[in-house]
């Protein structure tokens, strides 16, 4: 059930916790913000391309 993305997230969290525990919340906020921004950007790009399918 686990894949490399989950391992990478766990590795990043454990490293950050080992270096500075106070950075865990800002790290997760940044990761969630970046993920949401990436999903919105992908949706905008895909939506912009739907009207041009079939045109040469």
Q: Which residues span the domain enclosing 41?
A: 4-52
- pTM for the full model? 0.69
Structural domain total, the chain: 1
**pLDDT tens digits, 14-53:** 999 999 999 999 999 999 999 999 999 999 999 887 755 5
Is the model more confident about 6 or about 22?
Answer: 22
Q: Which H helix or E strand runs over 29? A: helix 24-49
56 Cβ neighbours under 8 A, 6+ residues apart? none
What does DSSP assign to residue 50? Answer: G
Burial class (CB in 10 A: 0-12, 13-18, 19+), 35: exposed
CB-based contacts of 16, cutoff 8 Å, min separation 6: 23, 24, 27
């Amino acid at each position: 059930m686990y894949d490399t993305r989950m391992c990478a997230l766990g590795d990043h969290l454990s490293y950050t916790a080992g270096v500075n525990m106070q950075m865990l919340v800002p790290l997760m906020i940044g990761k969630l913000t970046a993920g949401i921004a990436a999903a919105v950007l992908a949706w905008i790009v895909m939506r912009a391309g739907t009207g041009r399918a079939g045109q040469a």
